[in-house]
Amino acid sequence: MWTWFHRLASPPTFYRLADRYSPWLAVLSLLLIGYGLVGGLWLAPPDYQQGDAFRIIYVHVPAAWLSLSGYVAMAAAAAVAIIWRIKLAECVVVAIAPVGASFTALALITGMLWGKPMWGKYWVWDARLTSELVLLFLYLGVLGLNRAFEDPRAGARACGLLALVGVVNVPIVHYSVEWWNSLHQGSTVSRIGKPAIAASMLWPLLSMTFGCMAFFGWAVLRRVQNDVLLRERRSTWVAALLGERKAAGHV
Amino acid sequence: MFAVFAAALRRELRLAARHKGDWLLPPLFYLIVVTLFALGGKPNDPQLSAFAPAVLWVGVLLSALLNLDRLFRADFDDGTLEQCFLGAQGAMPVVYAKLIGHWLLGGLPLSLIAAPLALQLDVPATVLPTLLAGLLLGTPMLSLIGGFAAALTVGLPRAAVLLPVLVLPLIGPVVIFGAGAARAAAAGLSAAGPLYLLASLLVAGLCLLPLAATVALRNSFD
């Protein structure tokens, strides 16, 4: 188990594995998102209360889920990077930040578009909206901090520390804002047993969620690959790899 | 370990006594911010007291940020900080002394000056003890989070621009509970709940954040 882990954490092995599997993630995400969009935007019936406006959940809910779980994943990678000083985990921290920030922004924008017809306002100071906004600020803080460093390793570790402090803060922010005020509608899917949503609406939503997860994984893998190449550009394995590519006619 | 802490704290206070501008200017800045807020509204607007807790809290946060980027900077540049890491006790007591010193010279005077400013904003005198208690519990948290962020950015050329962006999102809960306590007191309700929550945040922060700041400082030496 540990030898496998160490082998995976070595940049050349990781690079080859990621190169082989990330196209499959891309295909998977395209298929799932394609089915989710068709099923959600055309096949699912309109909601009895919200009409067609409810269809925004097919983008909004996966984006909101990924924004939070992306932050937790970034913090987990940060813990690995700081405790075991694994270079690859540092690359993962830096790679997740922009992708997670994009999903957070997407969740906020789609939420605002939905809020206008439903609540009559683009923005209300509600608990979930506010904590999502703070989450975006936390992501942007990580991005800004990383950009300020010249040495990529020190920058990635500083970002990791910030992500770890931030992940402790996220639940505190969430519950403090909830205590402050809440207007957002309750969760419709997570109730175990009987979800409060019809199956014809639920399947496209789950498909969209897994599709977005695959997309997230694909984007992060590609970013990590780029970062690894850039950091190790003077090493022999990169030179060997590029030589291989040149011989095969890729470059 | 306590001797190291006490010596480091004495040093902080002695340095502050020689550079009076460092801790006299933030309260002045606070005074100006609150005055400008009042000038931005209608003269003698009765609504002003409704916003007073928010104005007083945000003013404190901005003023305490002013001298934050200098917290570790001078000792980092001349190598003192690196020597602290080499000592037998490690840098932890020094980091604690610096953070507590930052609060004694920043958060404490700012909290005290908030009382006359609150009267200026038409806050009823009965709310003052709650407001002050909230500020005294909340401003150390700002020194702790701010000290962590200052430790992260200590070696960077543009730390002063970056610091507020790192600190302010993390301080959200403190503002909610601190200003919330003052609003509850103004509405005649019990403010004990938010004050206890502030105190528990402070205890958690006091245990964890100096450790995070020490790790961040070590990172900037590598």
Residue spans of the domains in chain A: they are 21-247
CB distance A213 to B210 below 8 Å: no
Stretches in chain A below the pLDDT threshold 50: 182-183, 191-193
**A162: nearest CB among B158, B166, B176:** B166
Structure tokens at A144: 């800004």
Burial-class residue A70 by CB neighbours within 10 Å (0-12, 13-18, 19+): buried
CB distance B136 to B182 below 8 Å: no
Taking the C-alpha atoms of residue B23 and residue B173, their distance in angstroms, rounded to an integer, is: 26
From the list A80, A100, A83, the residue with the least C-alpha distance to A91 is: A80
Calculate helix-pair angle for B192-221, B92-102, nearest 10 degrees: 130
Smallest CA–CA distance, residue A132 to chain B, in Å, is: 11
Class for domain A21-247, per CATH? mainly alpha
How high is the pLDDT of residue A192? 46
Q: Do residue B170 and residue A169 have CB atoms under 8 angstroms apart?
A: yes
Closest chain B residue to A85 measured between Cα atoms? B219
How high is the pLDDT of residue A249? 67
Residue A233 is classified by DSSP as T
What beta strand segments (E) does A141-183 contain?
none
The mean pLDDT of B53-77, rounded to a whole number, is 88
From the list A10, A2, A22, the residue with the least C-alpha distance to A237 is: A10
How high is the pLDDT of residue A159? 92
Structure tokens at A168: 């402790």
From the list A122, A221, A125, the residue with the least C-alpha distance to A177 is: A125
How high is the pLDDT of residue A1? 61
How high is the pLDDT of residue B148? 94
How high is the pLDDT of residue A186? 57
How high is the pLDDT of residue A193? 47
CB-based contacts of B77, cutoff 8 Å, min separation 6: none
Note the maximum CA span of chain A: 63
CA A220 distance to own-chain centroid: 8
**B169: nearest CB among A137, A154, A158:** A137
Domain boundaries defined on chain B: 2-220
Smallest CA–CA distance, residue A43 to chain B, in Å, is: 41
Mean pLDDT over the full length of chain B? 87
How high is the pLDDT of residue B12? 86
Higher-confidence residue of A237 and B110: namely: B110
Q: Do residue B165 and residue A179 have CB atoms under 8 angstroms apart?
A: no
Looking at B58-62, B117-121, B140-144, which range is the least confident one? Answer: B117-121
Residue A47 is classified by DSSP as B
What is chain B written as a DSSP string? -HHHHHHHHHHHHHHHHH-THHHHHHHHHHHHHHHHHHHHS-TT-TTHHHHHHHHHHHHHHHHHHTTGGGTTHHHHHTTHHHHHHHSTT-SHHHHHHHHHHHIIIIIHHHHHHHHHHHHHTT--GGGHHHHHHHHHHHHHHHHHHHHHHHHHTTT-TTHHHHHHHHHHHHTHHHHHHHHHHHHHHHTT---HHHHHHHHHHHHHHHHHHHHHHHHHHHHHH-
Taking the C-alpha atoms of residue B91 and residue B195, their distance in angstroms, rounded to an integer, is: 32
Taking the C-alpha atoms of residue A142 and residue A28, their distance in angstroms, rounded to an integer, is: 29
CB distance A208 to A40 below 8 Å: yes
For residue B161, pLDDT beyond 80: yes
Taking the C-alpha atoms of residue A40 and residue A34, their distance in angstroms, rounded to an integer, is: 10
Higher-confidence residue of A236 and B201: namely: B201
The amino acid present at A38, given as its one-letter code, is: V
Residue A49 is classified by DSSP as T
From chain A, the residues in CB contact with B216 under 8 A are: 158, 161
Question: What ipTM goes with this model?
Answer: 0.85
**B177: nearest CB among A140, A145, A176:** A176
